[in-house]
Amino acid sequence: MKVLISDNLHQAGIDILKSHPNIDVVARPGMKPEELLAEIKDADALVIRSATKVTADLIAASPRLKVVGRAGTGLDNVDIPAASKRGIVVMNTPGGNTITTAEHALSLMMALARNIPQAANSMQAGKWEKKKFQGTELFNKTLGIIGMGRIGTVVAERGLGLRMRVLCYDPFITKELAAKIGAESVSLDELLARSDFITIHTPKTKDTAKLLSKEAFMKMKPGVRLINCARGGLIDEAALLEALQSGKVAGAALDVYETEPPGADWPLRQLPNLVCTPHLGASTEEAQANVAVAVCEQILELLLYGTIKNAVNAPSVSQEAMAQLKPYLTLAEALGAFQAQISEGAVTSVAIAYVGEVAKLDTKPLTHSILKGLLSPVVGDEVNYVNAPAMAASRGIHISEEKVDATEDFSTLIRLTVKAGNEENLVAGTIFGKYEPRLVRINKFRMEVVPEGHMLFIYNTDRPGVIGAIGTTIGKHNINIARMTVGQEKERGQNIILLTTDTSVTPECLKDVLALEHVAMAYQLEL
């Protein structure tokens, strides 16, 4: 079996592959696109880092390909839907970069506080500018951490060791769990207002893109310092430029960028209060060895034994079980993703009920799929079908399951109840025919919804003309409605509306819908 390595990979991983006589290792980093297309035709596995773009065309050109393994976490360079359609497993190595990325963020924070790069450049130029580069202490300062996954938690622990006060914002972290770490869980607005240093450790999603915007900068205290070692695009670079120039932000340290590498005319490059590094978060000898070894071991286990680990698009089940579970897996993940996007506050408990025919199956993979769907909007590529339960537990989420033989209105049903903050939401879904997932209940509302694509979820008062006004408003933003489903609660005079749209609902459109009379709440969803 041929394993193709198309990016630079630590020798420790390559040695593991070469130790097996049945594995033919071809390491050709830096191939041109046409060379990669030719080389992958007879490959059984592909090992990549961030450079190789695994496109739909590349997948189509690889009839033997069984697995794509990313030595690292981020999978922005892999067309996961195209791989899934072909039955190709996509796996990553969450956790391998945790320490090194956290340490880089802390290094940047220290460099920022003491103007170390600027002072070093001045010395190399033959100058002695002691007064110019006076810095600030970290001791007794307030560190705000956005995102308390693996990396954010390590940063918090190290920040506490520096005797900093640590605030954190994470939708899935309760105040009690944060307190165990030694941090204080607060709202995003409070974190922005109180922090002397702010570091970001969250994935880039529709909700976090340009999270630190012009409006966010206005909420920060004067002289705040920012660090981003997570994803480019979490900070609005145009707004950051203005804030650095005005002095609102005293300094920023970036390891990731909206465009990588930034162009020669990138305006932030010339600012004296910016520290920047070329995406070095995972660039240590130890981290490179860790992720290389991990991904190569995972690939071997799949090729030789059929065992799937850390897959982002496939749970570890037999082919026979997969045939029965496949439609339910899609439904389960959609239920979790739906709950994640409508729940406000930290999720504290998840209750899953398998009713009817589905209760007779091995439901463990379904629970994993629900949790992956629930966590993905917040933690991104770090969560997969294998580690989802552990990640939920690490966030203090209580999970309960029950199997019910007796059927309700449907012969098979998955019911998911999520408690977040002071609210509790219930969604339920079933399978129509053999393969068609449907949402059939949202709290007290009964309906039939295809859980896929771009969606707009609306709570409204049941009044004549409301649906028409919503449609007109969406049309003004040039967004086409593909499907619409309405659920009605006559006793209280309330409706819910689920619209499937051809394109994503923009923030401006969402704002206009919320401004309509009789619209109580609206959420933009991606399923």
Report the half-sphere exposure of 270 (CA within 13 A, side-chain side): 6
DSSP code string of 400-444: EEEEE-S-SSSSEEEEEEEEETTEEEEEEEEEETTTEEEEEEETT
In contact, 219 and 193? CB cutoff 8 Å: yes
What does the alpha-carbon distance between residue 156 and residue 410 come to, in Å, rounded to a whole number?
47
Token pair 């009379």: residue: 517
What does the alpha-carbon distance between residue 258 and residue 235 come to, in Å, rounded to a whole number?
8
At residue 66's C-alpha, the angle toward residues 60 and 68, to 5°, is: 85
Residue 206 dihedral angles phi and psi, to the nearest 5°:
-65, -30
Q: Which one of the listed residues 231, 368, 395, 454 is annotated catalytic?
A: 231
Q: Which one of the listed residues 35, 260, 423, 436 is annotated catalytic?
A: 260
In contact, 520 and 460? CB cutoff 8 Å: yes
Among 485, 519, 518, CA closest to 501: 485
Q: Which one of the listed residues 165, 279, 477, 518 is annotated catalytic?
A: 279
Q: What is the DSSP letter of 313?
A: S
What does the alpha-carbon distance between residue 308 and residue 152 come to, in Å, rounded to a whole number?
27
What does the alpha-carbon distance between residue 255 and residue 270 come to, in Å, rounded to a whole number?
16
Report the half-sphere exposure of 419 (CA within 13 A, side-chain side): 11
* Catalytic-residue membership of 260: yes
What does the alpha-carbon distance between residue 380 and residue 206 come to, in Å, rounded to a whole number?
11
* Catalytic-residue membership of 402: no
Q: What is the DSSP letter of 141?
A: P
Interior/surface letters 52-72, b for 16+ CB within 10 angstroms, e for the rest: bebeeebbebbeebbbbbbbb
Cis bond leading into 94, ω under 30°? Answer: no
CA distances from 211 to 232, 233, 237, 380 (A): 11, 8, 11, 15
Q: Which residues are catalytic?
A: 231, 260, 279
